[in-house]
Amino acid sequence: MIVRIVKLTFESENIASFKSIFEAHKKAIRNVEGCTFLELLQDVNDERIFFTHSYWNSIADLENYRKSDYFVQVWKATKLLFAEKPEAWSLQKS
């Protein structure tokens, strides 16, 4: 199993827009082949920082999603809202 953690930092005025994007797409992302879990977390000390935390059956499933037209569309809208470059980690769950 692959655990994917992505740190996203937004401009304060863009937080509501990001939350709307996530809410609109979370169900579809959870239903992508190979995705078994997805949640959104918000930093308790800095409201601008969010983490997406997801589980994938394999790195191939994650990469297929990341290369999909759907991901490209959602990411295009999301990246306009960033205050900082996102950071991402793909981890093997043992």
pLDDT at site 25 = 97
CATH code for the domain of 59? 3.30.70.100
* Under 8 Å between Cβ of 10 and 50: yes
Report the candidate in 18, 1, 13 with the shortest Cα–Cα distance to residue 86.
18
46-92 tens-digit pLDDT: 999 999 999 999 999 999 999 999 999 999 999 999 999 999 999 99
- Tokens of residue 74, six digits: 């959602």
For range 6-27, the mean pLDDT: 98
pLDDT at site 39 = 98
* Under 8 Å between Cβ of 1 and 56: yes
Q: What is the pTM of this model?
A: 0.94
pLDDT at site 8 = 98
pLDDT at site 93 = 78
Total domains, the chain? 1
pLDDT beyond 90 at 94? no
Residues of the domain holding 40: 2-92
